[in-house]
Every structure is written in structure tokens, then in C-alpha cells.
Amino acid sequence: MEPEILNILLIEDNKDFAKLLQIYLQRSDKGKFNVIWKENYADAIKEIETNKDLHVVVMDYFLPGKNGLEITEELIAKKVNLPIVFLTVNKDFDLALKVMKLGVDDYLVKEEISSPVLPKTILSVIEKHRLKQHLMEVEVSRHRVRAIREVIADVIDDLERPLVEMHEISDDLDRHFGKESQKTYVKIIQDNVKRIMSKLEKLKNLKQDKAIRYIKDIKMIDIS
């Protein structure tokens, strides 16, 4: 099986450093890395808005016009959901606290780009981000199921009793009608009542947020 290609958006104003980082990542045996290099934030944000296949943003903390924290704040404001790794010239404890509070996933000293630390950090950050997204989706799904069941409970209360009565009436009609043509119509009623009751029973026991596309952007709950 072909290894997954990971698309890295690199925001770095130093052309030589950007080339070095790309070379070191391409030499790594930890995965296939495709580095998309942008010299400034303006070009980077255009890439983010148009390229939906990015996996991570790696950026120099000190960039012309804006630093990494300011850029990260803008990305958060724009609801960009990508993990971020900072590149700095030296370890700074205060900076580490600031970036972690803001939600930056990790940061590296530029000297570390030639070591196995760089690919390991990028892979770890991407994996943690994916796990976080999965857990969030599971939690959202649980809330959706809870909300759907609350709505369904009210609907079922209104429908269940009339359906039970229809079921009893159809059984009574089946016993009293003798003609085969009449029995056919009664059978149709019985089948439809049973089918609806079966769907209601599945709705009552709904445990998963299983939706399927119906028309265009319209989705329906799958209770088949």
C-alpha cells in the first residue's frame, strides 16, 4: 500500500532555509511529505482558502509584518482547522506558554530541522489533530442522537396509539371480509401499518447518528 502523502504548508521568508527544510523532509523515511512553500502570510492564506488537502501549517515565528502568534490568531478567527507548528531560532519558555495557550500544536528550533525530530514532530501533530477531530465528531454525533431521540419521542407519542388502533381494525376487517379482493386491500393496509410501526420502533431505539444523502444537501436518518 502506498504511503499517504502529507501536504505541509510552509510559511517562511528565507528561501534557503525553506529549501533545506524541504530536502530534509524528502529524505525522511517516516512518510511522504509534499512541502508547499509561501514566503508571506498573504500568499499562505490564499493557499489555505483554495487547497483543501493541507495537513499541517509549519511557519517561522518571525515573519515580515506579523509574528506567528498574530498569524495564528487570524487563522483561528477565520476558523482554519489545521494543526500549526512554529519554527523559532531558540527555545523560549515564555513563548512556549503563549503558543500552547493559543492552541499551537508544537514548536521547533530551526537547528532541529536536520534531525529526526522534524518529521517525527510533524507526524505526531497530524496524528493528534486527527484523533482530536475524531473525538469531536463522536461527541457531536452523540449530542445529535440525543436531540433526535427527544424530538422522536414526542412524534412517536402522537403516532403510536393511532397506529395500534389501525392495526387492531385491520385485523378485525381481515376476520370479517370474505371476498379475496377485499382481503387484498386489507392486506395492503396491514402491511403498511406494520412497516410504519417497524420504522417507529427503530427510531425509538436509535443509537447512532447514521445519516444518508437524500437530495443535494438534504440528509435523512437511515433506519433501513
Enumerate the domain spans of the chain: 5-115, 138-221
Task: Tell me: pLDDT of 217 over 70.
Answer: no
Task: Report pLDDT for 182.
Answer: 64
What grid cell was written down for 84?
500549526
Query: Over the stretch 110-122, which tens digit does the pLDDT of each residue have?
Result: 887 888 888 888 8
Task: Report pLDDT for 37.
Answer: 94
Task: Report pLDDT for 210.
Answer: 60
Q: What's the average model confidence in pLDDT over 2-7?
A: 79
- CA gap 64, 66 in Å, rounded: 6
191 band by pLDDT with thresholds 50, 70 and 90: confident
Which is more confidently placed, 1 or 66? Answer: 66
Task: Tell me: pLDDT of 144 over 80.
Answer: no
**Which one of 3.40.50.2300, 3.40.50.300, 2.60.40.10, 3.30.70.980 gives the CATH number of domain 5-115?**
3.40.50.2300
Task: Report pLDDT for 156.
Answer: 63
Query: Over the stretch 66-94, which tens digit does the pLDDT of each residue have?
Result: 888 888 888 888 888 898 888 887 777 77
Question: Considering the chain, what is the average pLDDT of its residues?
Answer: 77
Q: Are the CB atoms for 92 and 69 separated by under 8 Å?
A: no
Task: Tell me: pLDDT of 123 over 60.
Answer: yes
18-27, 93-102, 121-130, 147-156: least confidently modelled range: 147-156
Task: Report pLDDT for 8.
Answer: 93
Q: What is the pTM of this model?
A: 0.62
- The percent of residues in the chain predicted with pLDDT above 90, rounded, is 14
Torsion on CA atoms 121, 124, 128, 134, rounded to nearest 10: 140
